[in-house]
Amino acid sequence: MTSELYLLGFGPEGWGPVLARAGLMTLAVSLSAFLLGTVLGTLTVWGRVSGNPVTRRIAETYVVVLRGIPDLLVIFLFYFGGRQVVSLVGTALGFEGPFDISGFVAGMLAIGLISGAGQSEVLRGAYQAVPKGTLEAGRVVGMSRWQLFRRVTAPQAMVTAIPGMGNQWQSVIKESALVSVTGLVETMRQVSIAAGTTQEHFLFYTAAAVIYLIITTLSDQVFRMLERRSMAGYAGGSH
C-alpha cells in the first residue's frame, strides 16, 4: 500500500488537492448546518419554555421526531422530498417557481434540522441552569424581555452549554459524511469517487478517517479554549 501513497499526494496523479478541497467543503457545510441548528435549537427552547401550549407541542414534536429517525433517512427525505416541500412553501408564500435547492443547501438544511433537535436539548439544560435570581434582578432594573435574553440569560447559558455544544458540533461533522447523496462533493463523496476510480478502497477510506480526525481534533481544541475563556470571571476560572 505504501507504494500507492502518491495517490494521496499533490502530484499530477495525486488526489491531494481535491481531498483538501473536499475537507474544506465538509467544514463549510458542517459550520452552516451547525449555525442553522443553533438558531433552530434556540427557537425550540423558546417554544418549550414560553408557556404557550401550541409552540410547546410543536417544539416537542420536532425534537422527538428528529431524534427518533435515522439521519440517513432525514437526508434522503430532504433530498428526494425537499424540493417538493420548498415548492409548496414557496408557492404558498406567493413566489414564482421554479424552485431549486443546491446540494449544499439541501445538505445544510437536513443536518441543520437534525442538529437543531440535539442542540435544543443542550440549550434547554443550560437555560434551566441559569440562576432565577439573576433574571429577577434584571427584571427589577427594568430590562425588556429581549434585553434580559441578550444580557442575562444568553451569556450565562452559553457558559454551561459549551461542552454540550462541543459534542453537538462533533456530531454534525460526522453526520455531514451522509450528505453525499445530495450531490455535494464533500470528503466522503470525494473519497468514494477516488476509491471507485483507483480501486484503492482502504487507502482512500483511511485518508477520509484522517481528514475527519484532523477536523474533530482541531475543533475539540477550539471548544476547550472557549470553555477556559468563558470560565474566566467565575470562581475557579483564571483571569
**Residues forming the site for other proteins (CB under 8 A):** 7, 12-15, 17-18, 64-65, 67-74, 76-77, 79-81, 83-85, 87-88, 91, 97-100, 170, 173-178, 180-183, 185, 188-189, 192-197, 199-202, 205-206, 208-209, 212-213, 216-217
| 121 vs 148, beta carbon nearer other proteins | 121
| 40 vs 195, beta carbon nearer other proteins | 195
**Least distance (Å) between residue 205 CB and other proteins:** 4
**Least distance (Å) between residue 72 CB and other proteins:** 5
Beta carbons within 8 Å of 182's beta carbon, 6+ residues apart: 75, 78, 79, 103, 104, 106, 107, 110
| 32 vs 156, beta carbon nearer other proteins | 32
Look at residues 107, 119, 26 and name the one whose alpha carbon lies nearest to residue 71. 107
Could you give the angle at which helices 201-231 and 187-198 cross, rounded to 10 degrees?
Answer: 160
| 130 vs 185, beta carbon nearer other proteins | 185
Q: How far is CA 209 from CA 128, 187, 203, 206, in A?
A: 37, 10, 10, 5
Query: 213: burial class by Cβ within 10 Å (0-12, 13-18, 19+)?
Result: exposed
Torsion angle of C-alpha atoms 48, 51, 57, 63, degrees rounded to 10: 0
**Least distance (Å) between residue 56 CB and other proteins:** 18
**Least distance (Å) between residue 191 CB and other proteins:** 8
**Least distance (Å) between residue 9 CB and other proteins:** 10
Radius of gyration of the chain (CA): 21
